[in-house]
Chains A and B, each alone.
Chain A
Amino acid sequence: MTGSAPPLLEVRGLRKTYGDRVVLDGLDLAVDTHEVVCLIGASGSGKSTLLRCVNLLESVDDGRVLLDGREVTDPTVDPRDVRRDIGVVFQAYNLFPHLTALDNCTLAPVRVHGVPRSEAVDRARGLLDRFGLAAQADVHPDRLSGGQQQRVALVRALCTQPRLLLLDEITAALDPELVGDVLELVRAEAEAGMTMLLATHEMAFAREVASRVAYLHQGRVLEIGPPAQVLGDPTEEATRRFLRRVLPERPPGAPA
């Protein structure tokens, strides 16, 4: 964090519980504009919950979330105002099965953002085309492959021109050979300067696109820093243990 401007997204002391289970326990995190922050950690470490708290799908039990320095966890804030500026892609795609790919993508621009239909359609077709989905624009989601569905979901999130993109393990449900297509799009968006907070299992991808990697452990950010440091030379023992479990075996003879 440098300069006087507040970070685009700031999370301070966030706490979230489900019944007796404490999922987030005083979590702090800041994401600057144009930054790509990858959240890693074991399942249940709170990655998804954090993302859901940021776009106010979950109410928080303590702490605060700030966008541009404005607290959005204030109960008087209209969640829709917050969500207008945030794009979300879910692990299970969550496309609307009763709408075609194109209509999935134009729903929010037309109904929420007041974009004229023809303009929204042009923009959506342009993006679908760029992402290799031109032929699928008028097809319903259930007829698409997982990789295609997830790319449509990405386009849907981008069509509202969000300032922040939240990606929740978007490749976790995909075949390995489809993962590449989806991540290619994310990489392109990152290079175009999109601010992103993403939960991922793809360590190689995190290493490549992340500005910083945050390791979540017991509801907090245990370690955060450039990917080379967190993934290559972590300072915390818990991080090291986690990485040993998820990273592929080192080839024999490689330095330990």
Chain B
Amino acid sequence: MTTIPPGAKAPAWTPSEHEVARRAVRRRLRRRGVLVAGVATVVGLGLLVALVVLSPGWQRVQETFLSPYHARQALPSIAEGFLLNVAMFMVAEPLILVLGTLVAVVRGTTSPWLTPLRLLAVAYVDLFRGLPTLLVVFLFAFGIPALQLQGVTTSLFWLATAALVLCYGAYVAEVIRAGIDSVHPSQVASARSLALSQSQVMRFVVLPQAGRRVVPPLMNDFVSLQKDTALVASVGVFEALFAAQDYGNYNFNYTPLLVAGLFFVALTIPLARVTDALGRRVAERERGGR
């Protein structure tokens, strides 16, 4: 170790022999970890696959659920139907987010003037969280057109989407409320001390912090919503699941159901990875390891 005269530019640092050895050990430990992970995965999954493949009915299952022929045949109509699922949740998700946030914020207000709104918010959450989603879809798709209201759509697509928005808005409102509650009161205190108004505190300090924390559970709800767009099959909207069932009923083969399932999974997995990556980036920027 050489001493550096004060003020002089430090010479380029080279790791000591000890550090070089330590890095080698760290590398070895990391390699061993990767090896253990690999072996554990292969053995674990291998056992699971063996269990299925060696079962007595495997031959039969393969024919009815895993037929490449039927998969190809059903693919175009399932893909077409799936576009409808995508459209439905693309419309619903932003609306749900807005509705859920509004309801959560309203529930957190304290002004006496807003008491009726607060009661409404509580009643809404209690009701729609409790009702089976399928029931709400039925009510909207068949009940609202039966009212024969002027100017209200009779499109099953839009009615079913509205039903999903209302059901999921209630879940999301609770998730966001939990996020709001998790922000430490000292944050509100310091924002108020800067003379921010009640709504400014909410908008600029509390909600941004709450939002970050609720991303994982929100993803849960959105993935769940994407799957629940298949519920509208029951009111006759020709989306992916309905297309698959339709094909299956004519051809006595369930492979199309599996194909439809793959469509849903193919959409949600990349989405989950992207949100994870985004969350990590925010955490790295803001936390600084301390």
Contact = CB atoms under 8 A, between A and B. Distances in A.
A142 B189 CA distance: 14
B25 A74 contact: yes
A22 interface: yes
Interface residues on A, range: 10 to 19
A90 to B, nearest CB: 10
A62 B1 CA distance: 12
Which bracket fits the contact residues of B? 10 to 19
A13 B25 contact: no
B72 interface: no
Given A61-B19, A74-B22, A15 B13 contact: yes
B110 interface: no
Contacts of A64: 18
Contact of B29 (A22, A61, A63, A76): A76
Nearest to A222: B6
Nearest to A142: B185
Contacts of B49: none
Contact of B26 (A26, A63, A75): A75
B195 interface: no
A15 B19 CA distance: 10
Nearest to B14: A62
B15 interface: yes
A25 interface: yes
A142 B185 CA distance: 10
B181 to A, nearest CB: 13
Contacts of B16: 13, 62-63
A25 B18 contact: no
B10 A76 contact: no
A110 to B, nearest CB: 27
A61 B15 CA distance: 8
B10 A62 contact: no
Interface in B1-55: 1, 6, 10, 13, 15-16, 18-19, 22, 25-26, 29
B25 A62 contact: no
Nearest to B28: A75
Contacts of B26: 75
A76 B25 contact: yes
A76 B22 CA distance: 9
A13 B1 contact: yes
A63 B10 contact: no
A76 B6 CA distance: 37
Contacts of A75: 22, 25-26, 29
Contacts of A26: 1
A25 B29 CA distance: 26
B15 A62 contact: yes
A225 to B, nearest CB: 19
Most chain-A CB neighbours within 10 Å: which of B15, B19, B22? B22
Contacts of B185: 142
A152 B10 CA distance: 43
B28 to A, nearest CB: 9
A76 B28 CA distance: 10
Interface in B100-136: none
A195 interface: no
A62 B19 contact: yes
Among B13, B15, B29, chain A packs the most CB atoms within 10 A around the CB of B13
Contacts of A73: 22
Given A13-B1, A63-B16, A25 B22 contact: no
6 contacts: A22-B10, A63-B18, A74-B22, A75-B26, A76-B25, A142-B185
Given A15-B13, A75-B25, 6 more contacts: A13-B1, A61-B19, A63-B16, A63-B19, A75-B29, A76-B29
Interface of B: 1, 6, 10, 13, 15-16, 18-19, 22, 25-26, 29, 185
